[in-house]
Structure 1
Amino acid sequence: MSVEERLPTDERPVLVFVGYADTMTGFITTSSYFCFDANPHWQWDGLTQDEQKTLFWMPLPEPPGKEG
């Protein structure tokens, strides 16, 4: 989902796409949105060069369960 539509409401790790809005060139990683900080921010914002920023995110999938 786009960060413009909605942001995470807790600080659990999520799957994110960090990149350039005009070319969609970037990388996928896990990050947390620090929503309870005085200045809410993504872990990666300010740590990447140029104009890269977190553009999309989604909850991490549940880990596989044990069978048997």
Structure 2
Amino acid sequence: MQITLWDRVFGWMRERATVLAVDESGMSTVEYAIGTIAAAAFGAILYTVVTGDSIVTALTNIITRALDTKV
């Protein structure tokens, strides 16, 4: 039986797919990227909530009451 060029190409592709399916060396980079994106999104949402009028008014009232205490 003679091995053709296509047999070699498909054999190489099968071996490469097996190595890629088992190799996890790039996983930590992807996890860091997803974590960074999630943290940035959470920060943007938190900033939007905290700078909203109701929160700013509530915090201002709390600080004003704390500073206006009479001894």
What is the TM-score of this pair, normalised by structure 1?
Answer: 0.18
Higher helix share: 2
Answer with 1 or 2: which has the greater Rg: 2
What is the TM-score of this pair, normalised by structure 2?
Answer: 0.18
